[in-house]
A and B are shown apart, each in its own frame.
Chain A
Amino acid sequence: DVKVTQSSRYLVKRTGEKVFLECVQDMDHENMFWYRQDPGLGLRLIYFSYDVKMKEKGDIPEGYSVSREKKERFSLILESASTNQTSMYLCASFNGLVARHEQFFGPGTRLTVL
């Protein structure tokens, strides 16, 4: 059974704190993604990675950075958390070697920044 896991389901942080969200997939996928989900806005791409140590900005990268040191792990970093980063964060992966771009999602991390 394929799996994408995220380190926390719920997280509460204070403004200015550095926040790490971790994602691990066990499917040997090259491609991994971080999205944020907000009501009425759908899923917006923050960053993605198509290989170890490779990263590309998505549509809303400001205030975020990422790290991919191992193929199975993709971390999202909020350098200095702000209240407007309160959101649901979803990690996903897919196998770029097949034509079907099915993305496999983790359960999400609901982050609240106070």
Chain B
Amino acid sequence: GENVEQHPSTLSVQEGDSAVIKCTYSDSASNYFPWYKQELGKGPQLIIDIRSNVGEKKDQRIAVTLNKTAKHFSLHITETQPEDSAVYFCAASKTGGFKTIFGAGTRLFVKA
């Protein structure tokens, strides 16, 4: 069935370093790839997304890249700050579909 694999499950970086989280999806018809951030005690919140007709998208310190051929997409956070510490989920869905398939999540720790 449809699947999204996410790595690593835990990531610890020093403040100011970069963090990269990688995901692979199985359904080649997927064309929308959002990333959600879940802070402690809260529900996930969308931080950035990318569509399959775009290879890269950037928003300040966060960027997402997509390789449709390899069915890989990645989240890049530069100049990490303690407030970036959270659980990050990648996801994939299709236009016209209702279901979003989520990865297992990455717990990011940013050490001050």
With a 10 A CB-CB cut-off, give which of B9, B42, B98 has the most chain A CB atoms.
Answer: B98
A90 surroundings in chain B (CB, below 8 A):
43-44
Question: Given A4-B43, A103-B46, are A42 and B6 also a contact pair (CB < 8 Å)?
Answer: yes
Number of B residues, CB within 8 Å of A: 23
> Number of A residues contacting the other chain (C-beta, 8 Å)?
25
Q: Which residues of B contact A4 (CB under 8 A)?
A: 43
Q: A101-B34, A103-B44 are in contact. List 13 more A-B contacts (CB 8 A).
A: A40-B104, A41-B104, A42-B105, A50-B98, A92-B43, A100-B32, A101-B32, A101-B93, A103-B34, A105-B36, A105-B44, A107-B41, A108-B42
What are 6 pairs between A and B in contact, CB < 8 Å?
A40-B104, A42-B89, A42-B102, A99-B32, A100-B32, A107-B42
* B interface residues with partner A (beta carbon < 8 Å): 4, 6, 9, 32, 34, 36, 41-46, 49, 89, 93, 95, 98-100, 102-105
